[in-house]
Amino acid sequence: KFQLINQRQDFSFGFFTGGLSNPTLVAVSNRIVFANPKAPVYPRLALGKTWNKMTVTWTSGYGISEAHPFVEWGMKGSHPVHAAADTVTFGRESLCGEPARSVGWRDPGFIHTAFLKNLSPEKEYYYKIGHRLRNGQVIWGKPKSFRAPPYPGQKSLQRVVIFGDMGKDERDGSNEYQNYQPASLNTTDALIRDLDNTDIVFHIGDISYANGYLSQWDQFTQQVEPITSRVPYMMARQREPRARFPQQRVAVQRHGLRRRVRRAGRDHVLRSYGEE
Ligand SMILES: [Fe+2]
């Protein structure tokens, strides 16, 4: 089955003749429309600066003039509270060259982050990302949960996964232009299989192997979402200074982009130890 993920816009299919050497477009399909192209998607957790804070970051098509982003959350069995989220994005002008500024450009949508604070050690929490529209309607993401870290020094087994150099690929096997990390699906699936035995993941750099095509970041965040929405997924940048994650509010590609750090204080190797 062919898989399309929500990247905030409609899709159409083009039919070409002439092979790869002399392609000629002969037909374009009707539009394929998502139920809600702006829906909040791909939640990703990261530890805050201290052990009892968790950050939730996600992507949507809702700018702040249109809707109020927040996370509804609480300890299992207790009443939920709301944590307001902030919103950032970046434009084509942030990117320093080809192909990211031209054929590789795709609007990244909006990236939201909320801080869940005063967690209790090792308690289970539920959370749900959402946007309150001006008419009062709330557009919800799917309900998720996580377990808070232990208190520092507490006797507790912590199972840590550390890996790097993953990349991304299309799960339906389609041969997407500029895809070159098919084995990344094996890594992702192995992590998902062992999630019940995992407390935190460190992805220590060389993240998506994005190479100037912005859509690769939606695809990567979608690929790892089963992991990032359940356990803190901490990024480090390894030796490739430009290969960073939207989670860190940085526009990232291997070629043609310069990183754009939104707030000077957030330029840290690990978000866990650099955030509020
Ligand atoms: Fe690498």
pLDDT value of residue 238? 54
Q: Please tell me the distance between residue 243's alpha carbon and the centre of ligand 1 in angstroms.
A: 9
Q: Please tell me the distance between residue 269's alpha carbon and the centre of ligand 1 in angstroms.
A: 16
Task: Tell which residue, 201, 49, 40, has the closest CA to residue 117.
Answer: 49
Note the pLDDT tens digit of each residue in 9-32: 999 999 999 998 999 999 999 999
Q: Please tell me the distance between residue 167's alpha carbon and the centre of ligand 1 in angstroms.
A: 8
Task: Tell which residue, 66, 47, 64, has the closest CA to residue 56.
Answer: 47
Q: Please tell me the distance between residue 236's alpha carbon and the centre of ligand 1 in angstroms.
A: 12
**Structural domains of the chain ordered from first start:** 14-264 (2.60.40.380)
Q: Please tell me the distance between residue 187's alpha carbon and the centre of ligand 1 in angstroms.
A: 14
Q: Please tell me the distance between residue 206's alpha carbon and the centre of ligand 1 in angstroms.
A: 5
Asked if residue 168 lies in contact with residue 180, where contact means CB atoms within 8 angstroms, the answer is no
Asked if residue 212 lies in contact with residue 100, where contact means CB atoms within 8 angstroms, the answer is yes
Note the pLDDT tens digit of each residue in 192-229: 999 999 999 999 978 998 888 999 999 999 999 999 99
Note the pLDDT tens digit of each residue in 232-253: 999 876 554 443 444 433 333 3
* H or E, element range at 215: helix 215-228
Note the pLDDT tens digit of each residue in 29-51: 999 999 999 999 999 999 999 99
pLDDT confidence bin for 55, thresholds 50/70/90: very high
Q: Please tell me the distance between residue 218's alpha carbon and the centre of ligand 1 in angstroms.
A: 19
DSSP strand pairing (24-28 vs 14-17): antiparallel
Q: Please tell me the distance between residue 72's alpha carbon and the centre of ligand 1 in angstroms.
A: 37
Q: Please tell me the distance between residue 41's alpha carbon and the centre of ligand 1 in angstroms.
A: 27
Mean of pLDDT over the chain: 86
Q: Please tell me the distance between residue 79's alpha carbon and the centre of ligand 1 in angstroms.
A: 44
Q: Please tell me the distance between residue 251's alpha carbon and the centre of ligand 1 in angstroms.
A: 18
Q: Please tell me the distance between residue 210's alpha carbon and the centre of ligand 1 in angstroms.
A: 11
Lowest average pLDDT, out of 68-77, 160-169, 249-258, goes to 249-258
pLDDT value of residue 237? 63
Q: Please tell me the distance between residue 131's alpha carbon and the centre of ligand 1 in angstroms.
A: 36
Residues, beta carbon < 5 Å, ion ligand 1: 165, 206
- Residue tagged 């860190």 (tokens): 248
d(CA 243, CA 252): 6
Q: Please tell me the distance between residue 164's alpha carbon and the centre of ligand 1 in angstroms.
A: 7
Lowest average pLDDT, out of 40-49, 153-162, 177-186, 215-224, goes to 177-186
Give 100's contacts (C-beta < 8 A, 6+ positions apart): 212, 213, 214, 253, 255, 256, 257
Question: Is the predicted pLDDT of residue 169 greater than 90, yes or no?
Answer: yes
